[in-house]
Structure 1
Amino acid sequence: MKLTVILLFTVLLQVNASTFAQKVSLSKKNITLEQLFKHLHVQTGYNFIYTGKLLSQANPINIQVEDADILDVLQLSLRDQPITFLVENKTVIIKEKDRSLGDKIQDYFAIPVTVNGKVADTVGNALPGVTIRVAGRQLSTVSDKNGEFSLTVQDGDVLEFSFIGFVRVIHTVKRAEGKLTIVLHEAVRALSETVIVGYGTTKKRDLTGSVSTINTKEIEDIPFTTIDNALAGKATGVEVTKTDGTPGGAVRIRIRGSSSLLGGNDPLYIIDGVPVQVQSNFVNPGFDIGSAVGNNVTASGGVSAGLSTAFVNGLNSLGGLSVDDIESISILKDASSTAIYGSKAANGVVIINTKKGKKDMKPQIVASYYSTVSTPKTPELLNADQYKTLLTEAAQNDFAARTAAGRAIPANVNAIINTPGTYFGTANTNWIKEVTHNTIAHNAEVSVQGGGSASKYFSSIAYNNSPGVVRATNYQRVSGKLNVENEIGTKFRLNTNLIIGYANQNITNGAYDQALISRPDYAPYNAIGGFTDFSTVGASYQNFQNPTALLTATNNAKNFSLLGSLSAIYDVTSNLQFKSTVSLNMQTYNQRNYTPSYLSIGSFYGNVANNGGIGSNSNSRLTNWFVENTLSYNKTFNKIHAIDILAGTSYETRKTSFYSATAAGYPNDNILTSLSSAVTPLVVRGDDPSEPQSYLLSFYARANYSLMDKYLFTFTGRADGSSKFGPSNKFGYFPSGAFAWRISKENFLKNVKWIDDIKLRASYGLTGTQNIGDQMYRTLYTPLSYAGTSALLPSQVGNPGIQWESTKEADGGLDISLFKGRLQATVDHYNKQTSGALLSLPVAPSSSFASLLSNAVGIKNTGWEVSLQGDVIRIKDFKWSASANVTWNTSLVTKLAANANLSQIGNLTGLETGNTTLIEGQPLGIITGLTVIGIIKDATQLAAYKQQLGVYYTAVFPYLSIGDPMYQLKPQGGANYLNSSTIIANAAPKYFGGFTQGFSYKNFDLNFYFTYSQGGKLVWGDHVSSMAFVGTSNANVAMLNRYTPTNTGSDQPQLRLNDQIYYKSNLDVFSSSYIKLRSLSFNYHLNNLRWMKKAGMKNTSVFASATNVFTLTKYPGNDPETSDDPYSVAGGYFDVSNYPTVRTFSIGLKVGF
């Protein structure tokens, strides 16, 4: 019986000790003990008994603990207070601390000492608000705004100086020691910094995967309309390309290269826990409703030309998110970090968390406004006199060559040479200036945040109006955010988050494109005030249009976006938490076009008559529902074993609907332009399914284990079941593992004071892609009626064997932090291999289909990433900080199916996809074309080249003459032919990155932000069209350096009208290397002004910034940072200059209350 009682008592003690080991995380400054007890009650469930009179004797405290036992927190908080505590069950009793008789006698006879001093940091900056406490006594004070303090104590008393973010200092008082100078050393905060990872957070020092974080303070004073624009050069492995200067336009982002041909290569965005696919580059039969507005895609399922019409014209589905609302950004890059997201994460993950309120905070209002002046960067074109001279010269060259060959002379050549006064106009129009202008944009935002003891909230509303530098284009956005978090009792929390955005955008109608080629000798308006008619200018297939007339056409797009989530969190125990979330991503788009009756409708076959105007209206809606449930558990055992386990399941549905109609014959171009006013319907399409088109069911788990805070392990697994694959291939499995070794904890390094942390990482894992159209594995049929009989016609041949595109990635990394965080470095090496990339392969003609979707391509990305950051100088009132990063990435095609409709490319075989060329064993992004080996300079060279051409000369180059290019030839069948598809360049850069320089002096901040790219190539579209000189289009001033009898040293061929000599070649390829000062910002903080303090204003600043300040490059075009196809696997290599790059200058004000 006695043994039973003893055992029972022992068990109760163990239960009590285990129950008491509640974990507390808290960071508060200058709070009362009563406030502390409320926080501890909320986090642990313990009750506190005390009297107000008792607590009135206590001093406020500063506290910063993470995952600490409640017993340790109480002992730390009450250590120097006149009170102490007792614990009974789950109740803490606060009582007065007993003092010995000797202490009381000593206090009575002690002679007081007044201590004066100043508290500063290591560089001499004063630290206001530092708590100075006398150990063991009820006495304390706080340093003033100059860091100074005064305290009457006794000789031998111990003073404790504490301040959040700094290491505590202990000082023993000595009589007659004079004025004190106390120096506090900053704690190494970078290592304790919280980093967002999939379904949770972790400390930066505990990462086992490759994760980059973006410092949002570096972008808050720069007028980025959308957040993706702000990522360029900020993180290793992340290549960002702005497609053009369209306000609110789309941006091309690649994380560690491209991995898919058809499924898109943009990263997955997680915004406050809600997944967002930025673009839908789907392959779908017929009309692609997966896109923002919809587009036609070949029924054969070929390589998708089907990127959304809205995105082609610049819509960005991140546009509803205000940059000012963003709290943190994490970029997950390796498989260990991304595998928790499975089939969505092969292209990396960008996690964005927006701002939230804080507990026990009085309402704080922050208002900001800035105004931006935008100026276009435009190319220099020929003026009217230069144009007439060069066109006449081109006509004369063509006349001479045709005469020598005994061929007929075209009418336009005769007209230019014989009747120039009739052929040429008298104007001198700068068409670029006619269609562009400087603009002023406005952005305003107001936010309110606060909270009580059990709740917190954040809300904001923002407005942006950005007129485009191309006339008749603009971007307007209204966005709002609401976040509310409530604690219901001590264990249950309810979080609500809502982000709403509305964008209204007028998109370019091709006016700028036409301005680049329009004849400068033509005026915008005719003699009677109407638009000059361009329909008869040049060859019929060129479709010349009057640029000023194009400005009057309508191309308007509207987008409404809603990201919402509702989460319920229940703390089962102090270590076990259950979370259930329902979220919604809804996007609606409307695009309206109207072409007035005075504009022709172009096509390759000539201008089509426009009878009464043509208009169209397209609507689409995307609805994504997500339901997620997770269970997480974390605990530390014996202070050396720490585990953090997460398990969850999610279910996603996706539904898209669309409507599109086009009609012609409107009675009026100005008023009656709605579809209902049209006389002739042309095309009507639509689909509004009652059920979602696709489903995704997922199960996932992750386990983190830390041994002695030295050896870190992470294991992750996810299974995704997708309705987009056949019954035998619906599920994909994505495991990963990672290991990190904190070398700095080893005995041979742990006593080296200047080393904060050195950690080696290694990871390996598998991710996948399922971003293809719905039902692609099925054979689909279309109903039809023939001769009064109903029938079904196959519209798509299915392939039930198609599988997930899978990507295996190995990563090794090194993280270093030195000198208390003043210098940090990260190095990563990765090997990322994609197998089974989807491609459309040709099938037998007897099937009545051209191709079949199959897993046919392998792609490998390997690279190195290096980043450095630190404080170069840190002295009193002045700080110079710097950071830099560089990425080397190589993309290679490792496999290409033999039956992939390959063609001969030089001595190799490959696949022409429309936006890039794929060759097994060659890198992604290669550019193919002809190779010019020189310019024919004399009759001897001409005769020798004609002899090499043989019969090919008569068939293809009958007008060959001095000044024309000589192309590399290839022998075939006993004759020489043009080698029309040789590899002439690689568009991909060898390395890219960014670097920043930040300076602060007292209240002034100055920041420089550079990006760079080296080793890439780009086809300059203006050069291609200018050298060809087909028809009578204008040309770039670079053509003034063409070959002429007086300029025989030129490497550019002579000009030829009606050219049949010049083809795209290596002469059109230029280096796209550059260094760009992307932004420059200046900020002045006004917090110390007395009148502002009296007005209750705080955190107030004025700022000025500029973007695209200058670019150092040899590229002759408008901007080397461009992409004609932001969604292609290689990103596009052709500079089409369809919208000018913009330089901006901004000034703004931010005020807090």
Structure 2
Amino acid sequence: MRKLIGLFVFLTFVGMQICFAQTREITGTVIDKNDKSPLPGVSVLIKGKSAVGTATDVNGKFSLKVNETDVLVFSFIGMKPQEIAVRGKKSLQIEMEPTTEALEEIVVIGYGSGKKIGTIVGSVTKISDDKLKARPSANAMDALQGQVAGLQVYTSSGEPSAASSVYLRGVGSLTAGNAPLYVLDGIPVTSNVMTTMNSNDFESITVLKDASATSIYGSRAANGVIYITTKKGKKSEKAILTASGQYGFSSLANKDICSPMNAKQLLDHQLKYNIISQEKYDEYSASGVDTKWVDYFFEKNVPTYQVNVDVTGGGEKTSYYISGSYFYQEGTAPMSDYERYTFRSNTDSQVKDWLRIGTNLSGSYSITRNSGYTYQGSNSLNGGIFGTILNPPYYNPYDEQGNKLDVIPGLNRYSPDFLLKKQPSSSNRALFNGMVYVELSPLKGLKIRSQAGMEAYDWRSTAKRLPSYPSSLGNGQTTERFARNVMRTITNTIEYSFDINELHKFTVLAAHEGVDSKYQEFGSRTSGQNDDRLTMLESGTTAQLLSKDYNDDSAYAYLSFFGRIDYSFNNKYFADFSVRNDASSRFGKDNRHATFYSGGLMWNVKNEDFMENANFLSTLKLKGSVGSTGNSSIGNYDHLALVGTSQYNTQSGWIVSSPGNPQLGWEKQVLSNVGLEVGFIENRYRLEFTYYNRKTKNMLIEVPVPYTSGFETIMQNIGEMTNSGVELTLGLDLVKNNDWFVGLTATYSYNKNKITKLFYGYQEWPMPSQTLTYKVGEPLQFYCAKYAGVDPADGAPMWYVPGTNETTKEYGDHLDQATGYTRYAPHSGGINVNARWKGLSVSADFSWVAGKYMLNNDRYFAENPAAFAGYNQSKRILNMWEKPGDRTDIPAFGHVMQFDTHLIEDASFMRLKNLTVSYEIPKNWLKRQNVINAVRVFANGRNLFTITDYMGADPELDTNLAYGAYPNSRQYSFGAEITF
């Protein structure tokens, strides 16, 4: 027995030795086959044991305990995976080569799981983060100009914190909102996120255009959806630290504002028409002064700074992304700048196999100073932009050392800089965006998710008139305003995905969502401060009652139930259907609910058997969809008759402040869409074509009512409009190999806007104060007198009599008529050229708009010498009519300019919106150290040149009447990005 026991112990010991001998450590290095550089972050897993593995370090090295029979799987994004058996090997040298097949992107377009972009029935366009990061602008939407067919983006101001106006597939409403719905990681938010958040945190921006993609959002989706996805970490990935910084400088993109005359030209003109005497002419001519007032008002080479730091990575169960940034940009106009701090933390954790939780949290704090003389719609001739630019150039505003004087000699007016310093104003905003979610997967294919999100901000504004302000010495004034907005969203979804015989694939979604938003604002003002050092509210002696524009307390809410079914057969035929019921507090109780539907079909023709031998064809898809969406972008209480207080004869009393309309309901749109996607030769040549028709009915319009009612307008559901058009996207990979890539992408869109029904049976409703008119059968267009030119016989201006070809010299309101010049541009597009050679890359983004018109109100001041004789005038005045027989469009001196079509200008333009040149240092240069993984240096340019016939300050303004605008700037920046 003892012998048997001894033999058993001996065999057990030997067996354990054999087993231990089979587990050993293997090391290796993974490099890029093309440039032999190490590849960090490559996943190394034991086949069949997905929980056992590692990742390569910054030098591409790894070590792992393995058994002799194991097989290692190497995988890395953009590289072909490899499987290597370890038997008999102690170390490995792995060379990975780029895959020739592009990974199919996952796109999040709404509620539930993301979809592969090739399976999406709707019309969507995804913009990746390389178009968004490291731009010398706080506004992320500015980078999308010209990038998406059907999307028009205008940045109407050079003010550093300026937001963009955005239109998708035209304008669907006359007086309700036309802005798209912004969604951040599944939570509806305001457009503030595009300027107050760091665009380096954006993974992508997806534009949802047709009903198949947007109807699931129902309310507020009538104007499309801008879906923002922020960056996330990856599980089982070592921490990657990225730091980047850039410095830039800005100057005006267009310095030729109004094309003012130089000193000699103006003096000759003023002498000729007896505006100045010969004595003054000689005096100013002898001084030799020729001030460029545009250079005096606007600063050159003002700085921009930006710093970003982020850390991303993950463990076996949890991934994370954490970032922080600082941004500062000084404006070209005096006393304007923008400063912003941001923070973001995104985490995702697979707590159990059936339980996943996560948070996306971000915050920002921004400080804004807006120059008081640079708001669109303000062209005061007493110190503003145009009051300065049109100053006579023979006055000298500088002292002998070149410093700006507080009082400008000759003009005897205070300088704009001096006045602004005596009237400082600024605002700050603390913004929080947060989302937390819990997701259960109790069964295969079943996901139950609940998420809660919040967007909240506090905004404070301080505006002062110092006691030393010249026109009110010893009587300072301080105005403080405070606003708080909180929007909360709760979304609950149940999604179930399953298949039948792996041919029929279904995804069914049911959901509930609730949104409530509350806005509060109040303000206070005191005056009587007598010391510049004591200017707070309590230092004043007199309090002033602020108007209702400074005080507000309002709220709105939505309650929604919706569902969606997605179906596909054998990756050939795809269909989706959605339904959503929305209730909005903005409508009367009998019309508060509305139901929206959509359906879409797609045929993947390339996957048909009869296309098997069409090797030249990579993609061929046909799409179609139709559906409805709703618009509720009106005031929160337009449906209610409200009372308020007012003062009459120093006594407070009650008034009816709003007429209300209890029958007010949803504005509805029906959008149909057909599209074609084609790709040739491994998708190197791609074409997307889409036709759409967008019909609006029950339009929300401010309908005029008789003044005897006590009101000017009342909001009603009446009127109809259509937008129809085509969208075209062309992509060409002209050169594509291991060393070189040259590609071109071009977008084009055409939109035809037409009003089809108005109120009270009217065929036209003119609005002379806005120089616009509604006209059935035509688009929204300009309304004013039609200029017929100058009579060569006497130099008098002439106008066309409405409805005839006859002309008259008697100007009056009776000459106003529809002009045919459209308010919104029908044509838009862009061109992107992208080239790479090894580590060097160049990207140029051009955007253009055609058929855009604006009434240039600035010319009323700059080409009106009889009305503004003491100011400088445009050089165009030199072509003024002087004698019988002269043919010109400038009337004889003495005629006052009128608001007519000769002020309406073609503001079509093409702009080099962004130019980026970058170089990534070869990885083998970094081999001698193990801290820095990658280094990229770059240079950016924005608004580098503009081609336009528009004579005003900036053709990019989104307005019908342009005056006193803050023009966009031309920017250059340089920076570096280092990955650790």
Give TM-score scaled by structure 2 length: 0.86
Is 2:883 the counterpart of 1:1021? no
- Residue in structure 1 matching 2:70, options 58, 72, 95: 58
- Residue of structure 1 equivalent to 2:978: 1151
Take 2:577 and 2:685, find their aligned partners in 1: how far apart are those partners? 30
Counterpart position of 1:93 = none
- Tell me if 1:515 matches 2:388: yes
Is 2:965 aligned against 1:1103?
Answer: no
**Would you say 1:549 and 2:457 are equivalent positions?**
no
Which of the numbers 738, 741, 756 marks the counterpart of 2:603?
741
C-alpha displacement of 1:246: 1.3
Q: Is the 8 A contact 2:572 2:604 kept in 1?
A: yes
- Out of 800, 825, 831, the residue aligned to residue 968 of structure 1 is 800
Deviation at 1:55, TM superposition (A): 3.8
Q: 1:1119 aligns with which of 954, 957, 961?
A: 954
- 1:480 maps to 343
1:1151 Cα deviation from its structure 2 partner: 0.3
Q: 1:755 to 1:599 in 2, by over 3 A?
A: same
Aligned to 1:868: 730
- C-alpha change, 1:701 and 1:912, in structure 2 (3 Å) is farther
Give ranges in structure 2 of 5+ residues lacking alignment: 1-40, 54-63, 374-383
Deviates more, 1:504-513 or 1:588-597: 588-597
- Taking the aligned partners of 2:629 and 2:789, their CA distance within structure 1 comes to 49
Q: Matches of residues 827-838 of structure 1 in structure 2 within 5 Å?
A: 827-838=689-700
SS at match of 1:1094: coil
Checking the alignment, whether the CA contact within 8 Å between 2:446 and 2:494 is kept in structure 1 is yes
Q: Aligned pair count? A: 904
Q: Which residue of 2 aligns with 1:928?
A: 783
Tell me if the contact between 1:910 and 1:920 (Cα under 8 Å) persists in the aligned partners: no
Distance in 1 (alpha carbons) for counterparts of 2:346 and 2:884: 72
Q: 1:432 to 1:504 in 2, by over 3 A?
A: same
Structure 1 position 633, deviation (Å): 0.8
Other-structure match for 2:775 = 919
Any idea what the Cα deviations from partners look like across 1:734-791, whole Å, max 9, x if unmatched?
1111111111122321332222221111110111111211222111112579999996
1:1135 aligned to 2:970?
Answer: no
1:207 maps onto 2:120 in alignment:
yes
1:798 is aligned, of 652, 660, 669, to: 660
Matched, 1:193 2:105: yes
Q: Is the 8 A contact 2:523 2:551 kept in 1?
A: no
Q: Match of 1:751, SS?
A: coil
Is the Cα–Cα contact under 8 Å of residues 375 and 439 in structure 1 kept in the other structure?
yes
Structure 2 residue 185 is the aligned partner of structure 1 residue 272 = yes
Q: Work out the CA distance in 2 between the residues paired with 1:201 and 1:505.
A: 37
Contact persistence 2:600–2:626 (CA under 8 A): yes
* Partners of 1:930 and 1:984 within 8 A in 2: no
What amino acid is the match of 2:420?
L
Query: 1:559 and 2:402 equivalent?
Result: no
Identify the residue that residue 1037 of structure 1 maps to in structure 2.
Answer: 875
Select the residue among 615, 622, 635 that pairs with 1:760.
622
1:1053 aligns with 2:891: yes
Change (3 A) 1:245 1:784: closer
Q: 1:929 deviation in Å?
A: 2.2
What is the match of residue 636 of structure 1? 499
* 1:515 aligned partner, one-letter code: T
Matched, 1:1084 2:963: no
Tell me, yes or no, if the aligned pair for 2:494 and 2:509 is still in contact at 8 Å: yes
CA distance in 1, matches of 2:187, 2:410: 50
Paired with 1:258 and 1:340, the residues of 2 have a C-alpha distance of 21
Q: Which of 216, 227, 242 matches 1:340?
A: 216
Question: Equivalent residue of 1:884, what SS?
Answer: strand
- CA distance 1:911–1:32, shift in 2 (3 Å): same
- Distance in 2 (CA, whole Å) between partners of 1:500 and 1:583 is 13
Over aligned residues, Cα RMSD in angstroms?
A: 3.4
For residue 1004 of structure 1, what is the aligned residue in structure 2? 840
Quote the offset at 1:492 in angstroms.
0.7
> Could you tell me which of 319, 330, 338 is aligned with 2:195?
319
Partner letter of residue 563 of structure 1? Answer: N
Query: Residues of 2 paired with 1:991 and 1:657: CA distance?
Result: 40
Residues 418 and 852 (structure 1 numbering): CA distance in 2 closer, same or farther, change over 3 Å?
A: farther
Inter-partner Cα distance in structure 1 for 2:430 and 2:638: 29
Q: 1:216 to 1:35 in 2, by over 3 A?
A: farther
Instruction: After TM superposition, give the deviation of residue 654 of structure 1 in Å.
Output: 0.9
Match of 1:1094 among 929, 932, 939: 929
SS at match of 2:407: coil
Secondary structure, in 3 states, of the residue corresponding to 2:219?
A: helix
- For the residue of structure 2 that corresponds to 1:985, the secondary structure is strand
Question: SS of 2:385's equivalent?
Answer: helix
C-alpha distance 672-1047 of structure 1, shift in aligned 2 (>3 A): farther
> Which residue matches 1:239?
152
Alpha carbons of 1:263 and 1:931: their partners in 2 closer, same or farther (altered >3 Å)? closer
Gap runs ≥5 in structure 1? 1-27, 41-51, 66-126, 148-162, 167-185, 279-315, 397-412, 538-543, 602-608, 903-907, 939-961, 1124-1131
Matches within 5 A, 1:541-940: 546-552=415-421, 553-596=423-466, 612-668=475-531, 670-684=532-546, 693-783=555-645, 792-898=654-760, 909-912=765-768, 914=770, 916-924=772-780, 926-938=781-793
SS in 2 for 1:684: coil
Between the aligned partners of 2:650 and 2:921, the Cα distance in structure 1 is 81
Q: Alignment partner of 1:343: what SS?
A: coil
Distance 2:955 2:353 in 1: 57
Kept in 1, the 8 Å contact 2:792–2:884? The answer is no
Equivalences for residues 366-377 of structure 1 within 5 A: 366-376=242-252, 377=254
Distance 1:57 1:648, change over 3 A: same
User: Aligned-pair distance for 1:535?
Assistant: 13
Measured at CA, do residues 141 and 868 of structure 1 come closer, stay the same or move farther in structure 2, by a change above 3 Å?
farther
Q: Is the 8 A contact 1:658 1:686 kept in 2?
A: no
Tell me which amino acid in the other structure corresponds to 1:1065: D
Mean Cα displacement is larger for which, 753-762 or 1088-1097?
1088-1097
Sequence identity, in percent?
24
Amino acid at match of 1:705: Y
Tell me the secondary structure at the aligned position of residue 245 of structure 1: coil
Q: Secondary structure at the match of 2:863?
A: helix
| Number of the residue aligned with 1:383 | 262
Q: How far did residue 986 of structure 1 move?
A: 2.3
Going from structure 1 to structure 2, the CA distance change for 1:885 and 1:578 (only over 3 Å counts) comes to same
Contact 1:375/1:1142 (<8 A) preserved = yes
Structure 1 residue 131 corresponds to structure 2 residue 7: no
Asked if the contact 2:679–2:687 (Cα under 8 Å) also holds between the matched residues in 1, the reply is yes
Q: What is the CA distance between 1:534 and its match in structure 2?
A: 10
After superposition, the Cα gap between the structure-2 partners of 1:592 and 1:39, relative to the gap in structure 1 and judged at 3 Å, is: farther
Please identify the structure whose Cα radius of gyration is greater. Answer: 1
Deviations 1:908-952 (A, max 9, x none): 65345737432221112x2222222222222xxxxxxxxxxxxxx
Aligned equivalents of 1:788, 1:1112: Cα separation in 2:
57
How many Å apart are 1:696 and its aligned residue?
Answer: 0.8
1:532 aligns with 2:367: no
Q: 1:898 is paired with a residue of what secondary structure?
A: helix
Shift of 1:38: 2.5
The residue matched to 2:172 in structure 1 has which SS?
coil
Q: 1:536 to 1:471 in 2, by over 3 A?
A: closer
- Describe the shift of the 1:384–1:225 C-alpha distance in structure 2 as closer, same or farther (beyond 3 A): same
Structure-2 residue corresponding to 1:455 = 318
Structure-2 change in CA distance of 1:600 and 1:520 (3 Å): farther
Report the Cα distance in structure 1 between the residues aligned to 2:923 and 2:388, rounded to whole angstroms. Answer: 53
